[in-house]
Amino acid sequence: MSPLQPSSGRPGRFISFEGIDGAGKSSHIEALATWLRARGHEVVLTREPGGTPLAERLRELVLHVPMDPLTEALLVFAARRDHLVQHIEPALARGALVLCDRFTDASFAYQGGGRGFDLAVLNQLEQWVQSGPAGLRQPDLTVWFELPAATAAERRGAARAPDRFEAQDLAFFERVAAGYAARCAADPARFARVDASLPREAVWAQIEAQVSARPWA
């Protein structure tokens, strides 16, 4: 069998979960993994930054050590490259469904929107890091938890000690939310918008409906 031929007989698929801190995405990604496994899929659950030993070490630096925006962006994309090569691409090649808590849209939202970092540089990093024989690796589906920044801030306040992103002010997260909206507008077919202000059961119903509508789910 070719190393790129799915061992399951069906192609792998890549689903990312996105949203500002406090939107509630992490509490639903496990539920989606369970739902997909019940339908017979191999599911790989992972996150960014992170997902490999090296990327997890870089995650700790990005979340807790002060640095300038370029250093931050370079570390995030370095972690992403290792994650893709070591974990995501092999899983997709064997036909798994990969569920990732954040991917490149987060870089454009947080570093681009929140930090105001040069989008042209982020675009170049995206091309370098995510290009392969099949073209530019992007999720097949991005579930975007859309929530007003003020509501997300209220939720974060009751959660845990903040990292260096979570500690940012409301204006930062408003820019992050605008960054996500811009990514969605640029590639609407890939995005599934979820109203994250609704009760948990209603949010899950939206996710289930969006994923069920995909022919490969």
50 is in an annotated binding site: no
From the number of C-beta atoms within 10 Å of its C-beta (0-12, 13-18, 19+), residue 54 rates as middle
Token representation of residue 193: 């918008």
Could you tell me which residues are beta bridge partners of residue 131?
A: 136
Cβ pair 174, 180 in contact under 8 A: no
29 is in an annotated binding site: no
Q: Say how far residue 208 (Cα) sits from the centre of its chain.
A: 18
24 is in an annotated binding site: yes
Instruction: Give Cβ neighbours of residue 154 (< 8 Å, ≥ 6 apart).
Output: 22
21 is in an annotated binding site: yes
22 is in an annotated binding site: yes
* SS3 category, 64: helix
> Which single residue is written with the structure tokens 């059961």?
201
- Which H or E run includes 193? strand 191-195
Cα Rg of the chain, angstroms: 17
> Which single residue is written with the structure tokens 């069906």?
10
DSSP conformation class of 39 = T
149 is in an annotated binding site: no
Q: Other CB atoms closer than 10 Å to residue 28's CB: what's the count?
A: 22
Token representation of residue 88: 């995501």
Q: What residue numbers does the annotated binding site for ATP cover?
A: 19-26
Q: What residue numbers does the annotated binding site cover?
A: 19-26
